[in-house]
Chain A
Amino acid sequence: MVWKIFLFLLLAFVSVAGIAFPIVEKPSAWYEFPFIPGLEENAKIIFFHVPTAWVTVIAFLMSTIFSFRYLKNKNLDDDLKSYAAAQLGIIFCILATVTGAVWAKFAWGAFWSWDPRQTSIFALLLIYGAWFALRSSIESEEKRATLSSVYSIIAFVTVPFFIFVMPRIMTGLHPGSADDTNAGPIVNFKMNSNMLLIFFLSLTGFTILYFWMWQIGYKSLIYKEKIQKQFLRG
Chain B
Amino acid sequence: MNSKAYNLFLKDFRSELRTRYAINALAMFIIVAISVILFSIGNEKINENLTAGLFWVVIFFTAMSGLSRAFVSEEERGTTLTLQLIASPTTVFSGKLIFNVILVFAMNAIIAVLYGALFEDFIIKNFLLFIATFVLGNIGLAVSSTIIAAIIAKAGAKGTLYPVLSFPILLPLILTCVQLTLFSFDGTSFEKSRFELAIVISYDVIMITVSYLLFDFIWKE
Contacts and interface: CB of A to CB of B under 8 A. Distances in A.
Nearest to B195: A169
B157 A129 contact: no
Contacts of A169: 176, 179, 195-196, 199
A157 B211 CA distance: 11
A221 interface: no
B172 A165 contact: yes
A28 to B, nearest CB: 46
- Overall SS of chain A's interface: helix
A157 B210 contact: yes
Interface stretch (A12-20, A88-96, A99-107, A139-147): A139-147
Interface in A145-184: 146-147, 149-151, 153-155, 157-158, 161-162, 165-166, 168-170
B203 interface: yes
Contacts of A151: 151, 165
Contact of B161 (A123, A134, A146): A134
A216 interface: no
Interface of B: 144, 147-148, 151, 154-157, 161, 164-165, 167-169, 171-172, 175-176, 179, 195-196, 199, 203, 206-207, 210-211, 214, 217-218, 221
Given A126-B168, A126-B171, A150-B218, 13 more contacts: A123-B171, A124-B168, A130-B161, A134-B151, A137-B157, A137-B161, A143-B221, A147-B151, A153-B214, A154-B148, A154-B169, A161-B172, A169-B176
Interface of A: 71, 119, 123-124, 126-127, 129-130, 133-134, 137-139, 142-143, 146-147, 149-151, 153-155, 157-158, 161-162, 165-166, 168-170
8 contacts: A126-B168, A126-B171, A139-B156, A143-B221, A150-B214, A158-B169, A162-B171, A169-B199
